[in-house]
Amino acid sequence: MRRAIVTTTATAAGVVLLLSLKPHGGQTASAQAPVISSGSDTGSTTGTGGTSGTGGTDNSGSGSSATTAPSASPSAKGGGSSSGKASHASYTGQAVDTRYGPVQVRIDVSAGKISKIDVLQYPDGLQRDQDINSYALPVLNQEALSAQSAQIDSVSGATYTSDGYTQSLQSALDQAGLK
């Protein structure tokens, strides 16, 4: 049984190079699946989102006028929308009840773009729920942020598809006057 252990210091190119030396195909995966060490090659690409602001990150929505979800909370309309281009501002979304408990997010907007999303409340009744939410909600968070990153186009993940998260986020976006 052959296994390739990649050290955590390997660069991305190094990972590809090392592993390209391994025999490919022709064998079933279970016995000699290569091992990718955790956190080895992607730390530098995750970014913090929204800070690069270089080409290809146009988030003005000017070309896309598709309407936002009709379920956006009406109570969030109003305040702040007239100053959607304010350089720095925070908007707290409505707390939304889900069957697992309340969910509430806050967004920071900088130069007309989301610079940060914080989850202020999420269900934590059961340990299992806590485990799930502690990473699943930030996965959606990352997805929202990464949409403004020039480095990653999209993120695949097993999302805990919380209506509460997206509804609260939508209400914060509405307040910020962002699409």
Partner 1 sequence: MTTRHAEHVMGTVFSFVVRDPSPAVDEALRAAVDRLHAIDARFSPYRADSEVSRIARGESELADASPELAEVMERCAEIGTLTDGWFSAYPEGRLDPSGWVKGWAVEQACALLCEAGSTEHCVNGGGDVQSVGGPWRIGVADPFRPGGLAAVLAGRDLVVATSGTAERGAHIVDPRTGEAPTGLLSLTLVSSGPGLLARTDACATAAFAMGAEQGLAWAGRQPGLEALAILPDPALPKRATNGFLRYAL
Least separation in angstroms between CB 173 and partner 1: 9
> Which residue in 121, 110, 103 sits closest to 87, CA to CA?
110
Tally the C-alpha atoms within 13 A of residue 110's C-alpha that lie toward its C-beta: 11
The residue whose two tokens read 């309340």 is 102
Return the number of the residue (89 or 152) whose C-beta is nearest partner 1.
152
Phi and psi at residue 108, to the nearest 5°: -105, 130
Furthest-apart CA atoms within the chain: distance in Å: 64
Could you count the other beta carbons within 10 Å of the beta carbon of residue 105?
Answer: 31
Rounded to a whole number of angstroms, the minimum distance from the CB of residue 128 to partner 1 is 9
β-pair partners for 31: none
What's the min distance (Å) between Cβ of 60 and partner 1?
9
Residue 38 or 87 having the CB closest to partner 1: 38
Nearer to partner 1, 20 or 87 (CB): 20
Residue type, 71: S
Minimum distance, C-beta of residue 133 to partner 1, in the bound complex (Å): 9
